[in-house]
Structure 1
């Protein structure tokens, strides 16, 4: 089972985000656009985990790591692209200390020792690397894109990524609620 831990966007936010990217999506229709059902913010990717016991152990360690973490709000910050061997278009979010602490607590509890800095982002499309001119044009377009979404994160989810055909299917394996902070009057 290919597993990852993620924040799922509420259905209304997925619809709103889809509206906000529809023009650029039409303009670059040949890109591999991620369907709104699959919109999420990956916290950690675990890769292949085979045994049920290992999955249960993983779930228990996640639960233990986040038992005292409060719910929080995610605020979009804009759109950009990242080049590796392909181009990834993504929405990035305001960096909040609470989300960085959440990821760090989980990594520590699972004894994951990587130095990768967590940057909250949501992938919206992939494509092959274009020419430098196309790249610069796309980068400008993304900078002008007005992305304005925010939502409360009250739980995180363990998903299984099932590769069927071109698009993966994400199946929710488990959910982990965050604390609802008490409001003082």
Structure 2
């Protein structure tokens, strides 16, 4: 990928307290889960629509349409839930933190996805599975301990909830850490 051909995606920008909470959890548990690459805390997010490479004029059009749509949205709360994986159960490729089912989140994702599809962007059609990627590529000879997956709780062993009030359009820079740069930010 040349330097001027970045990939883009719309995502929920997580509040700093969520990033801090997840990073603390990772620091306490990362030796139990030997993954090759741990995600930088500044890169934690919930992807709503991955756009890939997009020509600048089309990107600007989609940005404006999403921005107009978000002017009519209200903030809503999400709650961290479970830890999970994607890929092989024995040797997963993605280690993630999930959120409890949210009608507001699902509806928001559908609206953004629809705008992108109507602009003829070639989007991944897999079902929406909201998650925050924590690490990639299991790196152990041992089988991943999937039966011991903890729930994400605050220090009082209660739910960790937060308010969603920002959507970002991120630009990917694979050769940097953190690797996602805010290209546009929408507050609602």
1:173 equivalent in structure 2: 183
Work out the CA distance in 1 between the residues paired with 2:152 and 2:167.
Answer: 26
1:140 equivalent in structure 2: 147
1:3 corresponds to 2:8: yes
Secondary structure of 2:78 counterpart = strand
**TM-score after normalising by structure 2:** 0.80
Of 108, 118, 122, the residue aligned with 2:132 is: 122
* In structure 1, C-alpha distance between the alignment counterparts of 2:18 and 2:178, rounded to whole Å: 21
Runs ≥4 residues deviating over 6 A: none
Answer yes or no: is the 8 Å Cα contact 2:166–2:186 preserved in 1. yes
TM-score (normalised: structure 1): 0.81
Q: For structure 2, which runs of at least 5 residues remain unmatched after alignment?
A: 1-5, 155-159
Out of 15, 26, 37, the residue aligned to residue 20 of structure 2 is: 15
| Structure-1 residue corresponding to 2:107 | 101
Alignment of 1:57-76 (within 5 A): 57-76=61-80
**How many equivalent pairs are there?**
172
Q: How does 1:151-162 map to 2 (within 5 A)?
A: 151-162=162-173
Alpha-carbon RMSD = 2.4
Is the 2:78–2:100 contact (alpha carbons within 8 Å) kept by the matching residues of 1?
yes
Gaps spanning 5+ residues in structure 1: where? 179-185
Query: Taking structure 1 as reference, are residues 96 and 146 closer, same or farther at Cα in structure 2, changes over 3 Å only?
Result: closer
